[in-house]
Amino acid sequence: NAGVTQTPKFRVLKTGQSMTLLCAQDMNHEYMYWYRQDPGMGLRLIHYSVGEGTTAKGEVPDGYNVSRLKKQNFLLGLESAAPSQTSVYFCASSSLSNYGYTFGSGTRLTVV
């Protein structure tokens, strides 16, 4: 039982490049979330999904897009990376019966 798996774990991008972060969960959770963590800022919600095919904006959605085509996967896309998107990105999931989050191990992204 892997829980929540994020790929890649590390990535360096040049300004203007695009990339997709993948989050996969094997717990049959309905809800999935993308957060970013910056020093001294805690975690901030980027986008979230309450079910397959549905997504919603969080606190800091600008510059990101998401898709949830399959219940177990939640993708976070950066179309044109900017240095301000340098951060650690965390994916989390939770269920209808228990709202407690399970987090992935994070993706450290650097945009130069």
Partner 1 sequence: GIQVEQSPPDLILQEGANSTLRCNFSDSVNNLQWFHQNPWGQLINLFYIPSGTKQNGRLSATTVATERYSLLYISSSQTTDSGVYFCAVNRGGADGLTFGKGTHLIIQP
- Rule CB under 8 A: say whether 61 interacts with partner 1: no
- Rule CB under 8 A: say whether 74 interacts with partner 1: no
Quote the distance between the C-alpha of residue 46 and its chain's center.
7
Q: What is the DSSP string of 34-74?
A: EEEEETTTEEEEEEEEEETTEEEE-SS-TTEEEE-SSTTEE
Stretch that binds partner 1, among 16-24, 66-74, 76-84, 103-111 (CB under 8 A): 103-111
Sketch the per residue contact string, 12 through 51, with partner 1: x for CB under 8 A, - otherwise.
Answer: ------------------xx-x-x----xxxxxx--x-x-
